[in-house]
Amino acid sequence: MQKRPFLALALAGALLLGCNPTYNWRDYSSPEAPFRVMFPAKPSTHTRSVNLDGMRVEMTMTAAEVEGVTFAVGTGMAPDTARAQAAVAAMKTAMVRNIGATVQREDARAASGSGEEARTSIDIEALGNAHGQPTRLRGHFEARGKRFYQ
């Protein structure tokens, strides 16, 4: 008989561990770009003009921060697929440079297809320093047709 109260208490404890109040996951669909993602808190969105290796584009960044960890998706549109493909490397270089990082791991996939079917992607892990704090960057950079993402 004593096993039941212990089992109920253990089950209740396990359920409480699964409910982390720090992360309040929510589904987000971009109104501007074809992507859907989960954020751990209510995200904010900002658009600004950026220079990606000589190409000036409007880039929209949607991000949420929880306990010093930033979760973000950035997207923009290039004038053509070739420049969108080039934007992938430019975004990676800019993000690594922003935190003075050293790339620890990189996995690049070459472009395939042409026109709207063209795709290029780079995944990286890098270690650097942002605002005087050690920083780890895990990034995915991708171009699909004229649109690019980070």
What's the CATH code of the domain at 67?
3.40.1000
Q: pLDDT tens digit string along 25-83?
A: 999 999 989 999 999 999 999 999 999 999 999 999 999 999 989 999 999 999 999 99
Furthest CA-CA distance within the chain: 74
Element (H or E) spanning 41, and its range?
Answer: none
More confident residue, 110 or 89: 89
Answer whether residue 6 is part of any domain: no
- Per-residue pLDDT for 136 more than 70? yes
Q: Into how many domains does the chain fold?
A: 1
Element (H or E) spanning 11, and its range?
Answer: helix 3-18
* pLDDT score, position 112: 67
Answer whether residue 11 is part of any domain: no
Answer whether residue 4 is part of any domain: no
| Three-state SS at 8 | helix
More confident residue, 26 or 131: 26
Answer whether residue 37 is part of any domain: yes
Token code pair at residue 123: 């995944």
How buried is 68 (Cβ within 10 angstroms: 0-12 exposed, 13-18 middle, 19+ buried)? exposed
- Which residues form the domain of 43? 22-149
Answer whether residue 47 is part of any domain: yes
* pLDDT score, position 68: 87
Answer whether residue 74 is part of any domain: yes
* pLDDT score, position 22: 82
